[in-house]
Amino acid sequence: MAYFDDTQTAFKLKSNKDLKKAKLLFKLMGNPFLTKLGTYFFKIPFVTDIPFIKPIVRNTIYNQFVGGVTTDECLIVAKNLYRSGVRSIMDYSVEGQSTDEEFNHVKEEILKLIQIAKENPAEIPCVVFKPTGFGRIDIYEKAGNNLPMADHEMKSWENIRKRYQEVCQSAYDNGVPIMADAEDSWMQDAADQLMDEMMQKFNKERCIVWSTLQLYRHDRLSYLQEIYEKAKNENYLIGFKIVRGAYMEKEWDRAKEMGYRNPIQPNKEATDRDFNQAMEFMVEHIDRISLFAGTHNEYSSELLTRLMEEHNIQKDDHRIWFGQLYGMSDNISFILGEKGYNVAKYLPYGPIKKVMPYLVRRAQENTSVAGQTGRELSLIQKEINRRKSK
């Protein structure tokens, strides 16, 4: 779309060398065979310990999609982005925890991020965590479905609740918004219950606690409308990041295997429709709902700018944010930032070996989302041609 075609603005932080590396990377990710091969390859536990593998990963896919190994490295990237009007949300992208020790480590990391955000409010507007970073999926599933739990499972559930309580209390005390990502549908009900509980407690004066809705689920728009009515009746504020979704194949496979109704929309058009309707609903009820539109879709991004204009909402209103992943859709992020909108990049960090599941998903996403890789490549090539013609 013409609104987001200004490649000079989109790639102003990238050198010619950076653009050429990005072009090669997206070309490779555009090949389904190579992406599938890489996915299997990097699922092998010892692969990233092979001496020559780590530098290759670091200089290609890692540098494209990850802010660094540590928060200090990430903060350097965040400050650089902020000079172009783009904020950052540091995302501790380490997955696969299974013990209380590991869950408590994630909690401590989130508490550290809250302090970093407090000290750097311009660059870091909020903090994010994954519910699976605070507890096991099977515990969430049992809690969400009111299934019987053994004593040790009840204790695990209470520990999960305590972790939510501790990080949300710290966010509230420090004035830093905190957001929970979405998860698989079979554990999401329990996460939703906890997040609603936290919103009721901490969102009385302003929206500190935000949850996430995946609109590729056919029930999320109705859930949004229901939770709005609940919040209105009980007098608290709600905040949601809305995304299209990230676990489609897994959801399909599990629903078929276990014989229940597929929770996923029948087609992409239905997902796009519900996403845009969710934005419209949230903007219309901005007095009670805060919106973070996490999208790489140019039409939806432009639509939100029009909705804000129609409802006389200022570009920098703290209740509305745009967001994209680091390394993707820079044309949306930097152009919105230059125009004065609130926009933030999800900025993952962590050791290469531990963020490989995240990187594999980014490669898969670029391969599976229709037109994503082609759009990235066309914009990169357009900027390369523009620079050559100067």
Q: Please report which confidence band the pLDDT of residue 274 belongs to, taking 50, 70 and 90 as the band edges.
A: very high
Per-residue pLDDT, averaged over 210-237, amounts to 98
Q: Please report which confidence band the pLDDT of residue 53 belongs to, taking 50, 70 and 90 as the band edges.
A: confident
Contact 130, 180 (CB under 8 A): yes
Contact 324, 294 (CB under 8 A): yes
Q: What average pLDDT is seen over the chain?
A: 92
Helix (H) or strand (E) holding 242: strand 238-243
Map residue 86 onto helix, strand or coil.
Answer: coil
pLDDT value of position 165: 98
pLDDT value of position 85: 97
Domain locations in the chain?
Answer: 67-349
- Give the CA distances from residue 262 to residues 257, 268, 366, in Å, rounded to whole numbers and listed in that order: 10, 14, 24
- Three-class SS of 277-322: HHHHHHHHCCCCEEEEEECCCHHHHHHHHHHHHHCCCCCCCCCEEE
Rounded to whole angstroms, how far apart are CA atoms 59 and 319? 37
Alpha carbon distance, N-terminus to C-terminus of the chain: 24
Rounded to whole angstroms, how far apart are CA atoms 326 and 324? 7
Distance of CA 262 to the CA centre of its chain: 23
pLDDT at 228 over 90: yes
Proportion of the chain above pLDDT 90, given as a percent: 78
Per-residue pLDDT, averaged over 327-349, amounts to 96
pLDDT at 369 over 60: no
Lowest-confidence pick of 44-58, 132-146, 289-303: 44-58
pLDDT at 295 over 90: yes
Per-residue pLDDT, averaged over 311-333, amounts to 96
pLDDT at 37 over 70: no
Measured at the CA of 182, the angle between CA 72 and CA 208, to 5 degrees, comes to 65
Tokens standing for residue 102: 């590991």
pLDDT value of position 95: 78
Backbone angles phi, psi at 92, to 5 degrees: -75, 95
Spell out the residues 6+ positions from residue 190 whose beta carbon is closer than 8 angstroms to its own.
Answer: 139, 140, 141, 143, 144
Q: For residue range 60-79, list pLDDT tens digits in order.
A: 788 899 999 999 999 999 99
Lowest-confidence pick of 26-40, 114-128, 155-169, 336-350: 26-40
pLDDT at 40 over 60: no
Rounded to whole angstroms, how far apart are CA atoms 312 and 295? 22
pLDDT value of position 6: 94
Which of 195, 170, 197 lies closest to 183 in space, CA to CA?
195
Proportion of the chain above pLDDT 70, given as a percent: 93
Backbone angles phi, psi at 382, to 5 degrees: -60, -40
Map residue 91 onto helix, strand or coil.
Answer: strand
Rounded to whole angstroms, how far apart are CA atoms 153 and 135? 11
Candidates 3.90.1170.50, 3.20.20.220, 1.10.1740.10, 3.40.50.1100; correct CATH number of 67-349?
Answer: 3.20.20.220
